[in-house]
């Protein structure tokens, strides 16, 4: 269960400095400012999550499709991880996706990112395949992505 008093708001262009500070602290291969700007201009679902004191602890970006939602970025700032925020952010994303008519939530996750995979599996996502060389990796190499999917909305099965 996440801490009380948390809320989410839409990400706007003026948030990008703050958002990029978290992004670059968390990922060895962070999204660029341009990636975020493009997502906002495209009208993707982009939510920042704040604690009771109004401090940012995370954000998520998802691309709506035909009866589906594709999670592109889910990030919790390092000092706020492991407090249930990730799960709570997924809860809200599922609610918003279902309200948009999505029946399935998709995501990719690095094969090396076992912590995120564990969260997604516990949440009810199932692995449906891999994308070879999907992510940049060290020494100009590439890393495979695991593709995961979760039924949501009217056709969702109860989550464990």
Ligand X SMILES: CC(C)(COP(=O)(O)OP(=O)(O)OC[C@H]1O[C@@H](n2cnc3c(N)ncnc32)[C@H](O)[C@@H]1OP(=O)(O)O)[C@@H](O)C(=O)NCCC(=O)NCCS
Q: Which residues are catalytic?
A: 108, 120
Whether residue 155 contacts residue 135, with contact meaning beta carbons closer than 8 Å, is answered with no
Smallest separation, CB 55 to ligand X (Å):
14
> Closest CB to ligand X among 70 and 153?
70
> Closest CB to ligand X among 1 and 154?
1
Smallest separation, CB 21 to ligand X (Å):
14
> Closest CB to ligand X among 3 and 155?
3
Collect contacts of 39-43 with beta carbons under 8 A, ≥24 apart: 39/63, 39/72, 40/11, 40/12, 40/13
Whether residue 26 contacts residue 57, with contact meaning beta carbons closer than 8 Å, is answered with no
Query: Which residues of the shown chain bind ligand X in the complex (CB under 6 A)?
Result: 26, 74-76, 81-87, 109, 113, 115-116, 118-119
Q: Which residues on neighbouring strands pair with residue 146, listed in sequence order?
A: 109, 130
């Amino acid at each position: 269960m996440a801490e009380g008093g948390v809320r989410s708001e839409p990400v706007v262009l003026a948030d990008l400095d703050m958002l990029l500070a978290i992004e670059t602290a968390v990922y060895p291969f962070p999204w660029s400012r341009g990636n975020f700007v493009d997502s906002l201009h495209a009208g993707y679902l982009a939510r920042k999550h704040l604690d009771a004191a109004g401090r940012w602890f995370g954000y998520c970006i998802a691309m709506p499709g035909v009866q589906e939602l594709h999670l592109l970025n889910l990030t919790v700032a390092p000092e706020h991880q492991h407090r249930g925020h990730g799960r709570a952010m997924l809860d809200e994303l599922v609610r918003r996706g279902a309200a948009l008519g999505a029946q399935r939530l998709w995501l990719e996750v690095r094969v090396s990112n076992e912590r995120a995979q564990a969260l997604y599996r516990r949440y009810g996502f199932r692995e449906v395949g891999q994308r070879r060389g999907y992510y940049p990796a060290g020494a100009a190499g590439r890393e495979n992505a695991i593709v995961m999917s979760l039924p949501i909305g009217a056709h969702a099965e109860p989550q464990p």
